[in-house]
């Protein structure tokens, strides 16, 4: 039920801030995101502090752009997708990042178009620190930030070529190593690239698959990796 419907039927209490809601103008959105960027540069303890008149906390930028209540209303109501397309987690085929999917996919697509890599490309995992409640939040002991959202990233010289969020076993995506690598490298197959990867990804099956896609691969491998030839496992390799 929309705010307009609730207001027309008298179901909104007089003291509720939602009674102040009006249709958002394009100029207000520009100001809204300008304040968001400002908040990335100027850190304060609380959102309301950006509109504080306390001389210790005061900064005039946010107040000149939008009133505090208007900013908070837009922040609360802003959606990137239609909620009618949401599939609950207990049903088949949920997209657990549906609410940010359009902007995430847009950023990844534009990033891939903006840079043309050389021969050598790398695939690895990254983590965005987050300690809130999230069904696919992970713990990675070896990372500086141990709790957060995990990403599979294809990059070259630190520039992201492709990226995928790990959303756990609840999603439709096949999260086997071969399929992860194949999805990330899809637009780089048959172009003569060399893929560098850590032991998490390296396996004989994946190397064979990449060879068939005219992509060479370099990576460390564990002796207990399934599919390794027995004569190779027993060898002691010389250090160069």
φ and ψ at residue 165, rounded to 5 degrees: -85, 130
H-run or E-run covering 216: strand 216-219
Annotate 142-200 with DSSP letters as a single string. TSSS-EEEEEEEEEETTEEEEEEE---TTSSS--SHHHHHHHHTGGGTTTT-EEEE-TT
CATH number, domain 98-233? 3.90.350.10
Q: Where are the domains of the chain?
A: 3-77, 98-233
* Residue 72 token pair: 């908070």
pLDDT by position in tens, the chain (length 240): 566 666 667 666 766 776 777 889 999 999 999 999 999 999 999 999 999 999 888 899 999 999 999 999 999 888 888 777 777 666 666 778 888 888 889 999 999 899 999 999 999 988 888 888 888 888 888 888 889 999 999 999 889 999 999 887 766 677 888 999 999 999 999 999 999 998 888 888 898 999 999 999 998 877 777 777 777 666 776 766
Closest CA to 122 of 219, 208, 213, 190: 219
| CA distances to 125, 139, 146, 237 from 128, in Å | 10, 11, 9, 37
CA distance 147 to 140: 7
């Amino acid at each position: 039920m929309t705010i307009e419907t609730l207001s027309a039927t008298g179901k909104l209490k007089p003291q509720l801030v939602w009674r102040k809601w009006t249709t958002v103008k394009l100029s207000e959105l520009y100001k809204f995101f300008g304040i968001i960027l400002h908040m990335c540069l100027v850190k304060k303890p609380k959102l309301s502090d950006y509109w504080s008149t306390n001389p210790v906390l005061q900064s005039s930028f946010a107040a000149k752009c939008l009133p505090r209540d208007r900013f908070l209303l837009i922040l609360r109501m802003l959606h990137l997708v239609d909620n009618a397309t949401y599939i609950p987690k207990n049903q088949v085929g949920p997209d657990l990042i549906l609410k940010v999917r359009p902007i995430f996919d847009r950023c990844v697509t534009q990033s891939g178009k903006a840079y043309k890599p050389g021969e050598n490309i790398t695939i690895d995992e990254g983590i965005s620190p987050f300690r809130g409640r999230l069904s696919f939040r992970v713990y990675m002991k070896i990372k500086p930030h141990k709790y957060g959202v995990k990403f599979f990233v294809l990059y070259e010289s630190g520039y992201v070529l492709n990226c995928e969020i790990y959303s756990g076993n609840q999603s439709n995506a096949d999260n086997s190593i071969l399929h992860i690598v194949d999805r990330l490298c899809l637009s780089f197959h048959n172009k003569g690239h060399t893929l560098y990867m850590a032991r998490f990804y390296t396996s004989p099956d994946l190397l064979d698959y990449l060879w068939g896609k005219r992509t060479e691969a370099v990576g460390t491998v564990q002796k207990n990796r399934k599919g390794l030839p027995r004569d190779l496992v027993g060898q002691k390799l010389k250090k160069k």
